[in-house]
Amino acid sequence: MENYKIRWDKNFTLLLVFSFVFAAAQEQDAKRKGFNFSLYKGYAVAGYVDEGAFLNFTGPNINYSIDESTFTLGMLPSLRFRKDQGETTNSFVTPNLGAGLTYSYKIWAIQIPFYYNAKTETQNGQWHVGIGLGLRLDQL
């Protein structure tokens, strides 16, 4: 039974490597039209959410391209900047993972990110919507 598990792990690893290679090969053809999947799209976006700021770079996503416009739905690995008020506080800069919609035209991008703040002793957990502007780095 143990050998089966090791073999499965090797197969899973190979599948993961081929997925990355496939996504990277798709990314080489930036002018493709229609639906695409990529591990990154090359956006750098800064904006406002939940009484603070964020800086993110688009991660794994599904996107749809028409001419020079691209609509992207994906994960947003981010740094959030926020000064907490009260006796107990978080660090001013915290890593965070959001999800959101990004629209880009040529090099410009506008984004609507969604970030989740976990439950604390004083607040229930809830989603927060933000707005951001940025650049599409693969078009520079």
What is the pLDDT, as a whole number, of residue 86? Answer: 77
pTM passes above 0.75: no
> Taking phi first (over 0 means left), then psi (-120 to 50 degrees means alpha), and beta for anything else, what does residue 89 get?
beta
CA atoms of 91 and 98, how far apart (whole Å): 18
pLDDT at 72: 94
Cβ atoms of 82 and 91 within 8 Å: the answer is no
- Which positions of the chain have pLDDT values less than 70? 1-32
The Cα-based distances of 27 to 1, 20, 32, 99 in angstroms read 39, 10, 9, 20
Q: What is the pLDDT of residue 33?
A: 73
